[in-house]
Amino acid sequence: MMNWSACVSVARVLAWAVATVVAASAAYAQTASPQNAEAVTWDSIVCRLGKCEPLKVRGYLFTQPGDKAVVILSHGSVGVDARIFERVDRLREVGIAALVPEHWASRGIGEVLGDLKGAPAKGASELNLAFDIYTAVAWLRSDRGFAKVGALGASYGGGAQITVQQDWARTVIEKTMAYHYKQPFVAKPLDAQVSMYGFCGYRNALRDRFDGTPILFINGDRDEMTPAKLCEQLVPWMNERGGNASMATLKGAYHAFDARERAAWVPKVKHMGKCDLVVDVGGTTNLTTGHLTADADFNVALPKAVEECATAWGYTSGNSGDPQIGQPVWLPFLKANLQ
């Protein structure tokens, strides 16, 4: 028979366990989901291996009457997951609407890292995400009446925020939309952007020009896949070329620092963490290795340079104890610029 003190000890252990589970559940509290969103579509473009055509993008819109601001939440390589809807909840708590595009699913793409050759051929590119974002901006302003539109992207979606800022990308988007839809299209800049653990290791002195939208980069100082130091050096580069960029480096944080899972090593994944590429009239140089690809043409030089430097295998991914570590940084930034 168990004595009273042992019963008390067991009760305390059970109470602690229940409290721990409740606390963990609270940390991951999520109410937004596709089931309680408005299913929407809008006109965009898909470009595959240089050939572009019209595309209907599917997404989920979370809004209430009276909302004046909205944030487009772009996913990473795995597609839409629970993290996206946790961000929706945080935005809804401060009165900001949210649009979640299905960038990959709308193109018939699954998880990208497991299909590094096949996925890009289907349209897994930062330019395609930029098409979706700019066409969503136009639709949200003209059809849904939002006064201000922001964007937050993570990982692949975080890297796409840089493309969205580029003058050359807006020109491509405007011309391609006008050609396929037979009417003028204007890619108007957003009101604020956030890039979380996106890749910043590519600078092009020949064509980089940025639109001046306030953009905040948030990266972890332990991220091997998308190193913070690359974004730290990109910020002044952008600002010297018309940008309005700032940077927050999170101490002790890894790639996907807001994931529900604790940080763990992910083996056998080839990534571009060691790519620090600069294009100028002399060609493309990887500053990590010092190797020069003697061709400044973007379409020729970049694939060669990436093949040469994307040799890292494996990275650490997940939260380092606090999956909400980024929220006190990105949410005030968006509120300040959208409300």
Give me the mean pLDDT over the 19-44 stretch: 73
Average pLDDT for the chain: 89
State whether the Cα torsion 317-192-240-127 is positive or negative.
Answer: positive
235, two tokens: 């910020």
Task: Indicate the range of 8-12, 78-82, 297-301 predicted with least confidence.
Answer: 8-12
Instruction: Give the number of other Cβ atoms within 10 Å of residue 303's Cβ.
Output: 11
The answer to whether 139 and 84 are in contact (CB under 8 A) is no
Give me the mean pLDDT over the 296-316 stretch: 77
Residue 191 lies in a domain: yes
Q: How confident is the model at residue 302 (pLDDT cuts 50, 70, 90)?
A: low
Residue 278 lies in a domain: no
Residue 307 lies in a domain: no
- pLDDT for 135 beyond 90: yes
Q: What CATH number does residue 213 fall under? A: 3.40.50.1820
Domain count, the chain: 1
Q: How confident is the model at residue 115 (pLDDT cuts 50, 70, 90)?
A: confident
Residue 263 lies in a domain: no
Distances (CA, A) of 106 to 38, 45, 88, 161: 16, 11, 20, 19
Residue 15 lies in a domain: no
- pLDDT for 11 beyond 60: no
- pLDDT for 23 beyond 90: no
* pTM of the predicted protein model: 0.90
Residue 86 lies in a domain: yes
Residue 82 sits in which domain range?
31-254+321-338
Residue 225 lies in a domain: yes
32-58: per-residue pLDDT in tens?
Answer: 999 999 999 999 999 998 899 999 999
Task: Indicate the range of 57-61, 177-181, 286-290 predicted with least confidence.
Answer: 286-290
Round to whole Å and give the CA distance between 51 and 47: 5
**Which residues, including other chains, have CB under 8 Å from residue 293's CB and lie 6 or more apart?**
283, 284, 285, 301, 304, 305, 308
